[in-house]
Structure 1
């Protein structure tokens, strides 16, 4: 009989209450896979959307283990794996759900964890880092240009603001008043989101902005189009009506990947050039509480589950 270990599963779509702790069979790595002893798992808004049924066909089957962001120690190798060894500390994307004690992953989706990174920070990085690199590449951001980031104080926004500043961009970021000082600390010029955004941004940048990134999905695309002059350099990761405005919606995928994005972000964080605030950590069994906090939409930084 296979060994069984703690994990979080859901057997139907719904609210955070559908997540419950149980034990599942320890997975065995197949060809081209590694198994991780999970140390920490990042909680992302995408996880909540899959849980709620927002994406038809996801998960592919029930019961399902949520999560993709993971940091842990490789404890078993499948055939043909040469990139890593047992005992290596890594972070990246899980193939079989990261809210678990053990998970499987492809070596191509992992990068080594520097000693300078704690487990929570490592687990919080993969989705936000790869998303930040991706959206800046999609809008063609160039040093000296001004980019507007709508929804700049969350996990993805925090990384995108800092990466944009590191790349030499001027950043205007939207957030609630309570997060304006936070955005200033990250290097952005803060403005409040909502009605009147165009006027507020033009008070700062009278000629508008060169590019705009929607991370919030709060219906701000018309304002972003006005400020940029058209859809060519606007991208959203959160607005399901993007096509109605001719705006590109980006949800990842091989065609949009930026090579070495995660490794580059890990190096920047390890060197202290950018930071990833961890808003709160939870024991694995409290995944439902983490989702309730995530669903509130008022999290500054990342939420992370810890297995130990």
Structure 2
């Protein structure tokens, strides 16, 4: 069933035409195939994983497909394809789709979650919220544990909130004073400026009476934070890699990892069903009050200013945590 196409056959979509440049074009309205829904998008989150293709590496092909790179959309279903059950036009949903920098996108029903009335009017980039829930689950954080979180951006702030509300004592480590203030608001017991490697180690050692941390979540995606994370993990502790390490190989101190008996968790999921599980848990968590991301959406842009949103995600001006692109 496709009611909108009776009135219009085009939509606005952003096209990345080259490194650091976009155009918003009128393009053909997509039609849902078997097992798909079409979503009239209200908005999409801007993901840091976009920054590498945005910079124009050799392997990148321009122009992108209309709406390409966007994958954190939410909105209202306006058409359903063949054999779709359990979803209907008019229902508000969030989805893991792949052309969400546009007014409409298609998504397989296996990648769509319903948004209950309690979330009416609330922006909901479900993919990063679901990632936070999946990382938290993989970390196996328990009451009374000491948890260090390295890197307080959007993801680190969410994990600080989840861990502190689970009864853990959180040590938040970040380079920006603004981020440390956010960590305090999210429930961190201690905050440490990320400036000097050995001073940070000594501060955490003192805070933990020499034991270090039961769980350490690395949420930056660079070599130094990964090195630091290992140093802060206690014997038989768990190091959780949440940073997006896609800019080159890494070296590790295997001697330290081995000697301390560290469990290392790569928290990047690749199973679509696990993505969906995390997204559902995020919906439940926000409705129940276990997770409140509302103050972390710091910057909002219309679609025609997507380039500014991507630049802000790269440059992280003071006060920046998460950009949303919203559509009228």
Which residue in the other structure is 1:108 paired with? Answer: 110
Which residue in the other structure is 2:157 paired with? Answer: 158
Aligned-pair distance for 1:242? 6.8
Which structure has more relative contact order (CA 8 Å, sep 6+)? It is 1
Which residue in the other structure is 1:89 paired with? Answer: 92
Change (3 A) 1:223 1:166: same
Which residue in the other structure is 1:266 paired with? Answer: 283
Change (3 A) 1:208 1:242: farther
Which residue in the other structure is 2:325 paired with? Answer: 305
Query: SS where residue 298 of structure 2 aligns?
Result: strand
Cα separation, 2, equivalents of 1:121 and 1:243: 36
TM-score, normalised with respect to structure 2:
0.82
Cα separation, 2, equivalents of 1:256 and 1:4: 32
Query: SS where residue 168 of structure 1 aligns?
Result: coil
Query: SS where residue 288 of structure 1 aligns?
Result: helix
Q: How many pairs were matched up?
A: 300
Structure 2 unmatched runs, 5+: 255-263
The 8 Å contact of residues 113 and 276 in structure 2, kept in 1 or not, is answered as no
Cα separation, 1, equivalents of 2:61 and 2:284: 32
The 8 Å contact of residues 299 and 323 in structure 2, kept in 1 or not, is answered as yes
Cα separation, 1, equivalents of 2:90 and 2:62: 31
Aligned-pair distance for 1:136? 2.6
**Structure of greater Rg:** 2
CA RMSD, 1 decimal = 2.8
Q: Residues 237-283 of structure 1: CA distance to partner in whole angstroms, max 9, x if unpaired?
A: 23356752266544331089366322222222234342112202111
Structure 1 unmatched runs, 5+: none
1:292 aligned to 2:311? yes
| 1:67-146 → structure 2 map (5 Å cutoff) | 67-95=70-98, 97-117=99-119, 119=121, 121-123=123-125, 126-146=126-146
Query: SS where residue 279 of structure 2 aligns?
Result: helix
